[in-house]
Structure 1
Amino acid sequence: MDFLISAAHAQEGQAAGGGLIEFLIMIVIFFAIMYFLIIRPQSKRAKEHRSMVESLSKGDEIVTNGGMAGKITEVGENFIHVDVADGVNVVVQKQSVQSVMPKGSLKDL
């Protein structure tokens, strides 16, 4: 019956384990990859958005995060007034502006 059941052998030696230095190098490489693939591009996008929001001025044509397009009629400290149609003004937060469109884009719509 020995051919159906493998015999149990005593542990012959220690399994090869990684050292502390290899572990630290692997952790450093992992954090470097996370920095260059996630953290750095996100902070760059946030910086570009912050500078775009700070440069908003009267007459700019914008698109909000909700997809509403309009022309800025008044700029406040935290809010802007946007003319979305003839006689329709909407007040939105500056941070909700997704992008600034080129002048004359709203006439094409």
Structure 2
Amino acid sequence: MFQTIILQAESGGLMSMLPFAAMILVLYFFMIRPQMNRQKKEKAFQAEIKTGSKVITSSGIHGKITEVNNTDNTVTIETGAGKMKFERSAISMELSKKYLAPAVKK
């Protein structure tokens, strides 16, 4: 009689942990994992930046890369206001014709 009560109590404890484990899995697959993939893509983009690319910085400044300095990881960007020097990590995305093309209507 005591053994069945103990077994029921142990399985009840395990079943009460199931919703928490499910929430952690949902958070991982819908929030953490996509963010990690986005960061990997951004780091790969920042590593292959080249002169002449039109880019947007993380602060929203649009410009064209005029110089890439690999020794101190900086880039010089020409904007409407003149030339500015940024860290390579401040470049957030490329602004190319592919991204600016209007959507094709069918």
Q: TM-score, normalised to structure 1's length?
A: 0.70
DSSP 3-state at the match of 2:25: helix
Match of 2:88 among 84, 90, 94: 94
Aligned CA-pair RMSD: 2.2
Unaligned runs of at least 5 residues, structure 1: 1-16
Displacement of 1:71 after TM fit? 0.9
1:75 and 1:90 map into 2 onto residues whose CA distance is 12
Give the number of the structure whose residues are more often helix, by fraction.
2
Corresponding residue pairs, total: 87
Tell me, yes or no, if structure 1 residue 81 matches structure 2 residue 76: yes
Question: In structure 2, what is the equivalent of residue 54 of structure 1?
Answer: 47
Tell me, yes or no, if structure 1 residue 24 matches structure 2 residue 17: yes
Unaligned runs of at least 5 residues, structure 2: 1-8, 100-106
Question: In structure 2, what is the equivalent of residue 4 of structure 1?
Answer: none
Question: In structure 2, what is the equivalent of residue 36 of structure 1?
Answer: 29
DSSP 3-state at the match of 1:19: helix
Which of these two proteins has the greater Rg computed from alpha carbons?
A: 1
Supply the AA of the counterpart residue of 1:52: F
Question: In structure 2, what is the equivalent of residue 11 of structure 1?
Answer: none
1:32 and 1:67 map into 2 onto residues whose CA distance is 34
Displacement of 1:24 after TM fit? 2.7
Displacement of 1:85 after TM fit? 3.4
- Could you list the runs of 4 or more consecutive aligned residues of structure 1 that deviate by over 3 angstroms after TM superposition? none
